[in-house]
Amino acid sequence: MVNRPAGIPEDAEIASTGGFNKFVGPLYRLKDLEDGAVKRFAFAAAEHHMNGSGSVHGGMLMTFMDTSMSRTSRLISDAKGTATVSLTCDFVAPAKLGDVIESRVRVTRRTRTIVFLSCELVCGERVLMVGSGVWKISGTEE
């Protein structure tokens, strides 16, 4: 048995293995949906993720979205590395302490050098944030 926060499935894999992700984490990877077309990640909102108004800090939500989309860009491109070039986030609704926040990432298009992605953060069926962004596949200068 692996110890997981309430609401995180037992079979979820740890997705935050080092660096800033580990510092703000733990972040988890959940099972794909729609035959792999939707990649999913999750974290449980803890005290250190909050703002002064009792909601999850926007910086934490954007960090989680960035990590979810970055990881997806690497999973689908088999690239050694990818880098965020642009990300736009709409803050649709707040999240609270203890909420299990899930990301659902879709690939819009992949070219040789670029991946276009979209992402939704949800708590249950409630949408918290929507985002779209552009990732560069490393080692493809031009």
Q: Which part of the chain contacts another protein (CB under 8 A), choosing from 1-9, 14-22, 102-110, 115-123? A: 14-22
16 forms part of the interface with another protein (CB under 8 A): no
> Largest alpha-carbon pair distance within the chain?
48
90 forms part of the interface with another protein (CB under 8 A): yes
Q: How many CB atoms lie within 10 A of CB 118?
A: 15
75 forms part of the interface with another protein (CB under 8 A): no
127 forms part of the interface with another protein (CB under 8 A): no
Q: Binding another protein by CB under 8 A: which of 2, 10, 35, 48?
A: 48
d(CA 46, CA 111): 38
102 forms part of the interface with another protein (CB under 8 A): no
Burial of 86 (0-12, 13-18, 19+ CB in 10 A): exposed
At residue 140, the 3 state secondary structure works out as coil
81 forms part of the interface with another protein (CB under 8 A): yes
Q: How far is the CB of 82 from another protein (least distance, A)?
A: 11
Closest CA to 16 of 68, 69, 75, 79: 68
d(CA 126, CA 7): 15
Q: Binding another protein by CB under 8 A: which of 44, 67, 102, 119?
A: 67
Binding site for another protein (CB under 8 A): 18-21, 23-24, 47-53, 56-60, 62-64, 66-67, 70, 81, 83-91, 94
